[in-house]
Structure 1
């Protein structure tokens, strides 16, 4: 039985007890009035004779009955009907008042939820129900609605940010492609292998953004397809570091891989993608002539792959936004760094699809940040 049903049952029981109490009280009042009528109309000699009838004797009992019938007026008189009507009215009013108070207390938050739901359906995302003194399921209903409205509001803001980020990231290559294609058509730019390579590079960038968005969308609805098999994570880390070698050479940054991890049942392409994104993010923030360290180890029932850089780290207030799509720390240096802004978001979604996660901390005693990919060691095939 739910708590709301139990409370309604208690209300019904209370109303029954209240009605019985009023009825019993009314019967006592009627009995008192009957006795009052008996003693008021009976002469003193009759009252003395009544008191003498205490012994248990049939003759005395018959005489007592005769006197009682003669003077007590046991038949229902008009004033008795009036008293019964007053008693019923008082019982109804008191019971109705109690029921109204309880019903009002229960219906007010439910009505507030219904009105707020209509506003949310109309597009108002900042609707919240004011705090009330509530308990039980009704309090849970109000709390759940406020949590849902807050989630919808946050989702709306994230969607706006995501849309703006998509437009920002795609605008630059599209603008370049449009300008250079117009130049080719007008004859201002000569067609050459170098020009074709430039155009192809921007097309590849657009394709990469679209593919990352598609992967992120599938991960959001738990529809990311995983081709699981036994994977050597140590080898995967070394291959990811080698693939990013040309990028690190430009900034004189080196990538070192240390430690080892046992084989894991996972999707090798997805894990490689997540690890590459973490290393690429570390390389972007690493200062010149520094090292990005990739450390693998087994920690209990998990495998951890930590990616450490020697960059500036991140502000404490930015921790909860590190994995938001297209989010960048508000600094000129970060604004100038390359990338689609989806790398960390994709890495986290891939880790979650494997039952793991990614944590981010600043390095203690030195500059830099640590992004650690955690994957459960034992997973069902």
Structure 2
């Protein structure tokens, strides 16, 4: 298939449509004009013949039922001016008047010359001589017949042919002018549509090369193209953020792996070189670092399993209120240490869920809330339900998050405050696990936070998750 630019395709399509429309309208207009004008000429011819019939009736009546050849001859000469001639016969079929000999040849020659002039003016085809016989009646009494002879099918005059010719020429000029205007409009419209689409195409190629900084300005009045431009600009922003996040993710993973490995290497090298004695404390330090690495890898594997559905959920009927109580009880010492007030509000709905996985969700959320809530702070759990969903929220009055941090809080290895999170033992992976588990239950999780005022996580689970 031959490929074209969108500008070329638009111009060709527009011209094809314009040509079809203009051509069809021109043909229809020409056909209707010819048809109506033919009817008009035919009716005019019929009226003219009736006038001659009435004139012959009048001449016969004025001559007291006789025929005046001089008057009929004069009428015949006038008929030739109107491009026909006639003959008259009485009721017995006897010829009363007709052109003969040289006069007949002259009449036919004159009609032929006129026909040639008419044909030359514009394609009006005149056939062989037509005979039109009409009855002569006076005071209700038939007294003869008159036969008219002319070149048919219609008695076109030279002026009639000129009119038809002029109409056809005018239609051709109009059609040609419309086609020229169509070409100009097609080129203009194609440029208006094609140029921004070319910019869009160039911009997408830049995106494939990782050039996210540039943006496309809205330069058209077409809603669909502007919407496409906005979507691409949003995509560019998202790709830029994802690229930045990927680089940060690589750095964070490297850091999380490098720190325990460096510690392990230093301890083992020291013990090998005899600089440090092999003591239970140093062995425990090495074991802790290995355990840290193990937990990191295990958490990454857990997310991958949940997101790829390799880890099948073992669903049972779970009393969510009771589950929250048991998770809070596991943190009793840490809660008491910071003298934090932890309360549960709401209903006691039963949800079909994996109890262990949901326990991990609550554990991670409560652990984060305790870490980032000051002493004598508060943490509130709220459980509500409606016909279709069960809503669980956990809200604290801790340090909160900045607005841009809330967009990435569920990303792997993302830590809103890396230095503080690291000092608190965080790996920036707990909330990623939370989101994966909730989505595996066909639920959603959202976060709302104000810096310095606190954070609220809201989980929505379907009432029937089976």
TM-score, scaled to structure 1? 0.72
Shift of 1:350: 2.0
1:270-309 equivalence runs, <5 A = 270-299=357-386, 301-309=388-396
Output one character per residue of 1:78-107: Cα deviation in whole Å (capped at 9) or x when no partner. x99999997886565344333333333443
- The 8 Å contact of residues 307 and 440 in structure 2, kept in 1 or not, is answered as no
Match of 1:36 in 2: none
Give 3-state SS (helix, strand or coil) of 1:161's partner. helix
The alignment yields a C-alpha RMSD, in angstroms, of 4.4
- Does the alignment pair 1:314 with 2:318? no
Equivalent position to 2:82, from 44, 63, 78: 63
Shift of 1:132: 3.5
Match of 1:39 in 2: none
- The 8 Å contact of residues 294 and 305 in structure 1, kept in 2 or not, is answered as yes
Greater C-alpha Rg: 2
- The 8 Å contact of residues 307 and 371 in structure 1, kept in 2 or not, is answered as yes
- The 8 Å contact of residues 14 and 186 in structure 2, kept in 1 or not, is answered as no
TM-score, scaled to structure 2? 0.60
Output one character per residue of 1:270-329: Cα deviation in whole Å (capped at 9) or x when no partner. 211111110000110122344544343435533233323342333455443433444444
Assess, with a 3 A threshold, how the Cα gap between structure 1 residues 133 and 285 changes in structure 2: closer, same or farther: same
Gaps of 5+ in 1: 29-50
1:167-316 equivalence runs, <5 A = 167-218=254-305, 225-248=312-335, 250-253=337-340, 255-257=342-344, 260-299=347-386, 301-316=388-403
Match of 1:18 in 2: 22
Shift of 1:53: 10
Output one character per residue of 1:141-161: Cα deviation in whole Å (capped at 9) or x when no partner. 545444444433332222222
Assess, with a 3 A threshold, how the Cα gap between structure 1 residues 192 and 246 changes in structure 2: closer, same or farther: farther
Output one character per residue of 1:38-92: Cα deviation in whole Å (capped at 9) or x when no partner. xxxxxxxxxxxxx99972359849933737536554268xx99999997886565
Equivalent position to 1:369, from 440, 455, 460: 455
Give 3-state SS (helix, strand or coil) of 1:371's partner. strand
Give 3-state SS (helix, strand or coil) of 1:184's partner. helix
Equivalent position to 1:350, from 431, 437, 441: 437
Match of 2:464 in 1: 378
- The 8 Å contact of residues 213 and 240 in structure 2, kept in 1 or not, is answered as yes
Shift of 1:335: 6.2
Using the alignment, how far apart are the partners of 2:423 and 2:311 within structure 1? 31
Give 3-state SS (helix, strand or coil) of 2:434's partner. helix
Match of 1:46 in 2: none
Which segment drifts farther, 207-216 or 85-94? 85-94
Larger % of strand: which? 2
Gaps of 5+ in 2: 1-8, 33-43, 53-75, 85-110, 124-164
Assess, with a 3 A threshold, how the Cα gap between structure 1 residues 332 and 181 changes in structure 2: closer, same or farther: closer
Give 3-state SS (helix, strand or coil) of 1:74's partner. helix
